Amino acid sequence: MQQSHFAFKIYPNPVSQSLLYIESTYDFGYNKNNMEIQISDVTGRKVKKLPFEDQIDISDLQKGIYFFSVELGEGLMHIEKIIVL
């Protein structure tokens, strides 16, 4: 997979509340339906996989470091580290 050049803002990070917000400077239009969010722990195990939303509930995640990825339908991906407090 290729790393994307699309700008995503994922906040707050670190996060101590139950919601994580996602913003993008790119207009995905109809392609937004082909996007998927994955959250993996530091061992690479997927702990959450869901369709793209502007906000996601992370209240079920333990405290720790995770890798948040947005996969686009074309195989491009945005990956960012998030910290859950």
Residue-wise pLDDT for 72-84, tens only, equals 777 778 899 999 9
- Give the whole-angstrom CA distance, residue 85 versus residue 82: 10
Residue-wise pLDDT for 30-58, tens only, equals 567 778 999 999 999 999 999 988 999 99
- Give the whole-angstrom CA distance, residue 47 versus residue 27: 28
- Give the whole-angstrom CA distance, residue 79 versus residue 82: 10
Reported pTM: 0.84
- Give the whole-angstrom CA distance, residue 70 versus residue 52: 8
Q: How far is CA 58 from the centre of its chain?
A: 11
Fold of 2-84: Immunoglobulin-like (2.60.40)
